């Protein structure tokens, strides 16, 4: 009988949180783009299309996350990719945030939410990676060495 592997399931749980947040964000952007377009200082049909485009990107970006979720140890490359993507997103949003001219408080607030969102994702994925790379569960060994 297989032993319950707390590290493996802990890694899956942490990855699942990030996947759920990403897909939830994609879903609300797809279903209610008019509510989010003003946060990017966009209006009308073009703004809604842009927000829906961001939703599609969120879905696309989740592919390595979902592969890592299925088997964090076996698919370590996907977990590393997901972490790298999350870090790049955090860095890019931070650069954009600090490069904005003054006078855009709504845009600042939107970017700050994404920065916090991605920073939490980095922490969770890093935790998942540490759990996935940790030692495998002990196996039974014979008391009689060969």
Q: Which run of H or E residues covers position 36?
A: helix 33-36
Separation of alpha carbons 111 and 94, rounded Å: 8
- Residue-wise pLDDT tens digits, 69-90: 999 999 999 999 999 999 999 9
Give how far Cα 72 sits from Cα of 30, 110, 130, 143, Å: 29, 31, 10, 32
Residue with tokens 């939107």, as numbered in its chain: 110
Separation of alpha carbons 115 and 23, rounded Å: 17
Backbone dihedral region for residue 42 (phi beyond 0: left; psi -120 to 50: alpha; all else: beta): beta
Residue 4 binned pLDDT confidence (cut-offs 50, 70, 90):
confident
Q: What is the pTM of this model?
A: 0.85
Mean pLDDT, the chain, integer: 91
Question: In the chain, pLDDT over 90 holds for what percent of residues?
Answer: 88
119 and 90 in contact (C-beta within 8 Å)? yes
pLDDT of 143 strictly over 80:
no
Taking Cα atoms as reference points, which of 36, 133, 57, 123 lies closest to residue 86? 123
Structure tokens at 56: 């599609």
Whole-angstrom Cα Rg for the chain: 20
122 and 79 in contact (C-beta within 8 Å)? no
């Amino acid at each position: 009988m297989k032993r319950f592997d707390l590290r493996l399931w802990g890694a899956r749980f942490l990855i699942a949180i990030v996947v759920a947040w990403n897909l939830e964000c994609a879903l609300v952007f797809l279903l209610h783009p008019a509510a989010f377009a003003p946060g990017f200082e966009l209006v009308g049909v073009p703004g809604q299309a842009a927000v829906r485009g961001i939703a599609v990107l969120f879905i696309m970006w989740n592919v390595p996350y979902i592969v890592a979720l299925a088997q964090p140890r076996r698919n370590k490359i996907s977990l590393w990719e997901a972490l790298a993507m999350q870090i790049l997103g955090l860095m890019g949003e931070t650069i954009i945030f600090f490069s904005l001219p003054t006078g855009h408080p709504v845009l600042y607030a939107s970017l700050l939410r994404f920065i916090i969102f991605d920073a939490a994702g980095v922490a969770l994925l890093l935790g998942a990676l540490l759990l996935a790379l940790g030692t495998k569960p002990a196996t039974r060994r014979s008391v009689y060495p060969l």
